[in-house]
Amino acid sequence: MRDYNYGNYLLSLREKSGLSQKELAAKLGITNKAVSKWENGNAKPGLEQLIALAEIYGEPLENLAKMQIKKQGKQITKIVVTGGPCAGKSTALNWIRETFSKKGYAVLFISEGPTDLINGGVAPWTCKSTIDFQTTVLKLQYEREKIFENAAMNIAGYDKVLIVCDRGLMDSKAYVNEYEFMQILKRLNLSETEIRDNYDGVFHLVTAAIGAEEFYSSENNKARYETATEAAAVDRRTLNAWTGHPHLRVIDNNTDFNSKMKNLLSEISALLGEPEPYEIERKYLIEMPNIAKLEKIFGAKKLDIIQTYLKSTNGDEIRVRQRGQDGDYVYYQTTKKTINNLKRIEVEKRLSKDEYLNLIMQADTNKKQIRKTRYCFVYNNQYLELDIYPFWQDKAILEIELSSENQQVNIPKDIKVIKEVTQDITYKNFSLADII
């Protein structure tokens, strides 16, 4: 779980010292990306680094150590509601506020940065380039989120806080090409994995221009300038930008609008564990697909995963996972309890790198560490995850998370299913990790 409070504490000390992230990193002999992760609450300094920080900041070491281990009682969840233009986000935000306020949450909203900038006179057509505008958008969003995360830690009278972002950091990628987006991230000293997986859940509302064309309009948003055709293209690019997030859900227009909103609330409730954090999934053994084709046609995103099972005394499945690519990773702990053949209670929390490394010491030595390559993609508004294991050359596993046990499953015709293995324990990761 991200420790926003400690991250903001380190940020305040650095700002008070007058040092930039780059200057502090140079003094410590580390990268400024590492400093950024500390201040985001995604990682914590080790003992040697704490000693050095105490000397640099003139802060007692015991203060730095105490703040690092201090436990916070709040459950803070940060989500993104995104999608194409005219997807129903404004209405959705009202439904979210009303629904989850009644469930005892403090609901905080971060408004849509591009709309605020355009209404304030800063627009793509007033900036020198699209890159300049999207850099401004991403920087504004990044700073706003830090402010709201700090506010969430200090909000009084609530144990549960839901931060709702009207669009998130990855939305900028829908308006530039891959190279330009990498240049934006470089300017801001950020990485794609870091900003994409900085949210607990991402909920993509499909634009009315896809499936509900008669309702597409720009009348309710003065900053909206896209035609229906352009809106559909933006929708697809936005969805592609977020593909690869561990909890991406697509809310389509296959129902009436009220049902669309109810589907969204149901998906958010499932993420929050209201009333219980159920995971419903179907799993298939498939022939090894043409990966290049999946990447080209469906925009499949590659991730490397290392999964380690921990010792458990009550029969629960407990694992820690490293997830990312090219040395840029995020870390999770997941606990699963089986309810029936399709449904399991799943509780997941984000870990810092140090927390992850400490938990690795509790590994179940009767289980092998699972290493796999995952390709994530969207097909017919369902989020598919395809896992390739090093010990199989001719087959792979396809998983689809569902919102209900009766939901219809759609699989691309190019993927050849050998058999469904949802109820076959021999194809669960837990079983594949058995030492023979």
pLDDT in tens, 95-123: 999 999 988 899 999 999 988 999 899 98
Q: φ, ψ for residue 418 (rounded to 5)?
A: -80, -50
pLDDT band (50, 70, 90) for residue 93:
very high
| Largest pairwise CA distance in the chain | 65
**What mean pLDDT is predicted for residues 261-278?**
81
373 to 75, 325, 327, 387, 427: CA distances (angstroms): 31, 10, 14, 6, 16
pLDDT of 15 reads 85
Provide the pLDDT for residue 59. 86
CA gap 384, 282 in Å, rounded: 10
pLDDT value at position 31? 82
Tell me: pLDDT of 168 over 70: yes
Q: ∠43-180-217 over CA atoms, to 5°?
A: 100
The stretch 61-68 carries a mean pLDDT of 70
Q: Which is more confident, 230 or 403?
A: 230
- Name the average pLDDT for the chain: 87
First to last CA, the chain: 34
| pLDDT (mean) for 150-165 | 90
| pLDDT band at residue 435 under the 50/70/90 scheme | very low
pLDDT for the residue numbered 181: 96
pLDDT band at 67 (very low <50, low <70, confident <90, very high): low
Encode pLDDT of 336-375 as tens digits.
Answer: 776 666 666 777 778 888 889 989 999 988 888 999 999 9
Q: What pLDDT does 66 receive?
A: 63
Burial of 172 (0-12, 13-18, 19+ CB in 10 A): buried
Tens-digit pLDDT profile for residues 185-244: 999 989 898 899 989 999 999 999 999 888 887 666 655 567 889 999 999 999 999 999
| Percent of the chain residues past pLDDT 70, beyond the cut | 91
In the predicted structure, residue 174 carries a pLDDT above the cut 90: yes
Encoded tokens for 222:
């003065």
Q: What is the pLDDT of residue 278?
A: 61
Q: Note the pLDDT of residue 436.
A: 40
**Regarding predicted confidence, which is higher, 7 or 130?**
130
Contacts 24+ apart (CB under 8 A), 385-388: 386/286, 386/289, 386/294, 386/300, 387/305, 388/288, 388/291
Rounded to whole angstroms, the Cα distance separating 305 from 322 reads 6
CA separation, residue 161 to residues 69, 149, 287 (Å): 21, 10, 44
Angle at 376 between CA 382 and CA 297, to 5 degrees: 80
Strand order in the sheet with 248-251: 105-110, 160-166, 75-83, 201-205, 248-251
According to the model, what pLDDT value does residue 220 have? Answer: 60
Mean pLDDT of 392-398: 95
